[in-house]
Amino acid sequence: MVQQIRVAGILWQDKKLLVHRLISDDFWYLPGGRVEKGELTRDALQREWIEELQVNIQIHQLLWVMENQFEYDQQIYHEIGFYYHISLNADSYLPFNDFETTENKLRFLFHWLPSEQIALADLRPNAIRHQLAAPLPQQIVHIF
């Protein structure tokens, strides 16, 4: 079993949520990545958005902490996820249509998912999909 800590950013623009996936996957998830040993989650989130998207973000608040177990690529994972509400810095820009990036030879597809499609989308983890279909919480919610 692989244990990992993951961070993700929740970025809304015009009632659309930025999601992404590996080109080879058939499901979506929120942009972010693994926290490195000794790294704070907020620092990891900044680093991941710079590495994957070359943009600077403002981190507003931690919304959810989630404990999740899943199987991916024939491996069992136990993941602790930190999900932050974010916005782009004024000097940063992202296209408002589908676009691709490459990081460490991995190709990612980014997509702006309309809010009315979130409940039906294959957005993982499933518990986050359900949380995103509701108004954002005012305090940190622990999901397990």
pLDDT confidence of residue 15 = 95
Please tell me the predicted confidence (pLDDT) of residue 73. 87
Give tens-digit pLDDT for 73-123. 899 999 999 999 999 999 999 999 999 999 889 999 999 999 999 999 999
pLDDT tens digits for range 18-68? 999 999 999 999 999 999 999 999 999 999 999 999 999 999 999 999 999
Does domain 2-143 fall under CATH 3.40.1190.20? My reply is: no
Residue ranges of the domains in the chain? 2-143
Residue 134 confidence (pLDDT) above 90: no
pTM of the model as a whole: 0.94
**Which of 134, 111, 119 minimizes the C-alpha distance to 28?**
111
> Does the pLDDT at position 133 exceed 90?
no
Residue partners of 143: CB distance under 8 A and separation at least 6 = 64, 65, 66, 67, 127, 128, 131
Radius of gyration, CA atoms only, the chain: 14
